[in-house]
Amino acid sequence: DNYIVKMAWRSDGSELTFQRLNRFQNRLEVLAADPMTGDVRT
């Protein structure tokens, strides 16, 4: 189980960045997603 804490688009719309927090709220990950390919990176 995870929570999406915050999301933001890059100004050119090429990438969506978001923060994912686990249920126990002791691990925060920052991820970036490419909307064209669906690829997600940390």
Q: pLDDT tens, 11-41?
A: 999 999 999 999 999 999 999 999 999 999 9
Q: Which pLDDT belongs to residue 34?
A: 98
Q: Which pLDDT belongs to residue 38?
A: 97
Q: How confident is the prediction for the chain on average, in pLDDT?
A: 97
Q: Which pLDDT belongs to residue 39?
A: 98
Tokens 């999406």 sit on residue: 4
Count how many Cα atoms sit within 13 Å of the Cα of residue 26 in the half-sphere of its side chain.
1
Q: Which pLDDT belongs to residue 15?
A: 98
Q: Which pLDDT belongs to residue 4?
A: 98
What does the domain layout of the chain look like in residue ranges?
2-41
Written as one letter, the residue type at 2 is: N
Rounded-to-integer distance, Cα 6 and Cα 11, Å: 16
